[in-house]
Amino acid sequence: MPSIGLSKPLNISREIMPRHVAIIMDGNGRWAKLRGRPRIFGHKYGAERVREIVEQAGQCGIEVLTLYAFSDENWKRPIEEIGVIMHLLEHYLRKERDELNRKNVQFRVIGDLSKLSSSLRNLVLETRTMLSGNSGLILNVALSYGARAEMTRAVAAIAAQLAAGQLKPEQIDQELVSSNLDTAGLPDPDLVIRTSGEQRISNFLLWQAAYSEFYFTPIMWPDFTRDEFTKALESFASRERRFGLTSAQVESSNQAASMQKMESRPC
């Protein structure tokens, strides 16, 4: 049952709301199997869930929502399943893009688009252009995405700049590496959520998630409602991120920050 309007409100202050949430939407196939249905049935219901989570992320003031929709490794799945997933992606974009536009959502894609059909690739690029004037939530879809492939492309791009004499080895720093990744310009994910009970990263944002908080839930993606998302955000809000510092150091910098603001935002 969709829970729009029935969910309990989340009232956490702005500074403990993650700027960037990345979700590994896993468990569609098992969700369908539990119901005695084919895997594609799970993908269909999984796609339905996306609208609600995008809406909630926007309402919560999250800046970036990255959704892992299809991995580089998923190309090895049976051709029929790949076809259905690609069809659902196309269907979702065609159906939702006007609504995303009305909600002021921006759209980005990370991954190797050259492997997509030309119709899906064109639709993705068109949608990106169509929503480019918006200023709200950035919906970032990881599509045909693998972090190792992304990093390999970045290394090749940097090597090409070196070979062309546009760059010196001593100019290579972490910022330069970040700016050659597909996520250039986006903040790193503060929170990575994985549904379905698996506790692995599956080649997702390996560089960017260096200091992310992780939230694993046994809930299968088609059952990941607004309330489940709220639980993940509450879990994030309760954590102390230390980035290598001591707890005392973190507390004193938090005290200095809380002198300035305490804006609260229900969502």
Rule CB under 5 A: is residue 26 a binding residue for Mg ion?
yes
Nearest distance, CB of residue 49 and ligand IPE, angstroms: 11
Interface with ligand IPE, residue 24, by CB under 6 A: yes
Closest to 16 (Cα-Cα) out of 212, 210, 241, 252: 241
Q: Which residue is nearest to Mg ion (CB)?
A: 26
* Of the candidate residues 85, 105, 191, 205, the single one contacting ligand IPE (CB under 6 A): 85
71 binds ligand IPE (CB under 6 A): yes
Structure tokens at 74: 């998923």
Structural Rg of the chain based on CA atoms? 19
Containing H/E element for 110? strand 106-110
Are β-strands 11-13 and 20-24 bridged in parallel, bridged antiparallel, or unpaired?
unpaired
Choice between 27 and 189, CB closer to ligand IPE: 27
Contact 150, 169 (CB under 8 A): no
Three-class DSSP category at 190: coil
From the list 264, 265, 154, 138, the residue with the least C-alpha distance to 206 is 154
> Of the ranges 5-13, 161-169, 173-181, 197-205, which one interacts with ligand IPE (CB under 6 A)?
197-205
Question: Which range binds Mg ion by CB under 5 A, 20-28, 33-41, 150-158, 178-186?
Answer: 20-28
Candidates 11, 74, 112, 140; catalytic one: 74
State the DSSP H helix or E strand holding residue 182, giving kind and residue range, or none if neither: none
Q: Is 70 in the site for ligand IPE (CB under 6 A)?
A: yes
Q: Is residue 25 a contact point for ligand IPE (CB under 6 A)?
A: yes
What gap in Å lies between CA 208 and CA 98, rounded to an integer? 30
26 binding ligand IPE? (CB under 6 A): yes
The residues that are catalytic are 26, 74
The site for ligand IPE (CB under 6 A) is made up of 24-30, 68-71, 73-74, 85, 196, 198, 200, 202
